[in-house]
Amino acid sequence: MPAETVTVELGSRSYPVRIGAGVRREALAAAKARADAGRRCAAVTSPAVARAMPDLLAELGRLMPVLVTARDGETAKSAEEVARCWDFLAGNGVARDGAVFALGGGVVGDLAGFAAASYQRGVEFVQMPTTLLAMVDSSVGGKTGVNLAAGKNLVGAFHQPAAVFADTELLGTLPKREFAAGMAEVIKHGLIADAGLFGLLEQNAPLSWKHPLLPAVVRRCVEIKAAVVAGDERETSAQGGRALLNLGHTFGHAVEATAGYGAYLHGEAVAIGLAMAASLSAELGRCTAAQAEQVRAALTAHGLPERLREPLPLDRLLAAMRRDKKVRGGRMHFVLLEGIGGAATSDNVAEDSAVRALLSGGATR
């Protein structure tokens, strides 16, 4: 199947998302063109990617210096690690006309993207996502950032990439758990915008990287996100807009912060958050109890958790939710399902209802 392009329409800052087997060659060609023009670039990757893709890393390394993060997982999204990136860029003479290439999953993309956004007040950024989660979600839209002990992504910047190269062949290197984690974001896209996509996922569970439908599923997710980002790039809409992409994330981010970064993969925490959001939506009459059960069943069918593995304290989860960057005027914002295939934002959810949603997912008083 030939590679396809989805364009994120942002006027003069529009960019292509190339999707398909082998598009890493296009990314390498883009890197070579910059090198041939005398533009010094640098790449950021992770230890796991360096182990899984040594040949690709060697090819990229012949064109630019490569920084490998000190560790894998969410703990790499730290102030200390972004400072390492800045020093690496400066030490290798990357100038304003240079670029940062991110080869990895969502953590690498967020970290390298924030380094690119802030180094010399902003240099070009190219995404080479290697995980399903990054391909369908985090590599598109320009959100970059790092975590604080207080919460997820509390420091960051909007910095759109120049291009995204999503090579679906690279998904063959993913551990089963990592692939499943990406499916949480795929399921989320169906829930908020495409009931047909959600139905397709129900009928073909569990999807694998070899499944013939996967490239089309990745493309559809990118189309959904590109349309949302084009309409509300910086998440400023009073209702709906880009905030809809946060379905399950208010709960999921609280799970990550409370359990400790690394206890759950991001997609696993989002899956638990989706189940909690579905329970909340059903209680508020936004979807039926049967539809909430559909959500939980779809998560389970794709190898994802829909409850906490071990109980977490309710008070700590609530405290993390109150620190979430989506809080406005002291009120927590939630994304609620409107059946399957639709969603809406609300800041009018009673805390007791949020508590019951947390308890439904395994929180403990």
Integer distance in angstroms from the first to the last C-alpha of the chain? Answer: 52
For residue 104 the two structure tokens come to 């990895």
Whole-number Cα distances in Å, 283 to 220, 261, 347, 353? 30, 30, 16, 8
For residue 79 the two structure tokens come to 């102030």
Give yes or no for a cis peptide into 215 (omega within 30° of 0): no
In this structure, the strands spanning 4-8 and 15-20 are: antiparallel
- Distance CA(290)–CA(344), nearest Å, equals 19
Give catalytic residues, as residue numbers. 121, 143, 185, 225, 235, 242, 246, 249, 253, 266
With contact defined as beta carbons under 8 Å apart, do 209 and 172 qualify? yes
- Distance CA(127)–CA(110), nearest Å, equals 10
For residue 340 the two structure tokens come to 């399957």
For residue 18 the two structure tokens come to 């190339």
- Distance CA(29)–CA(365), nearest Å, equals 55
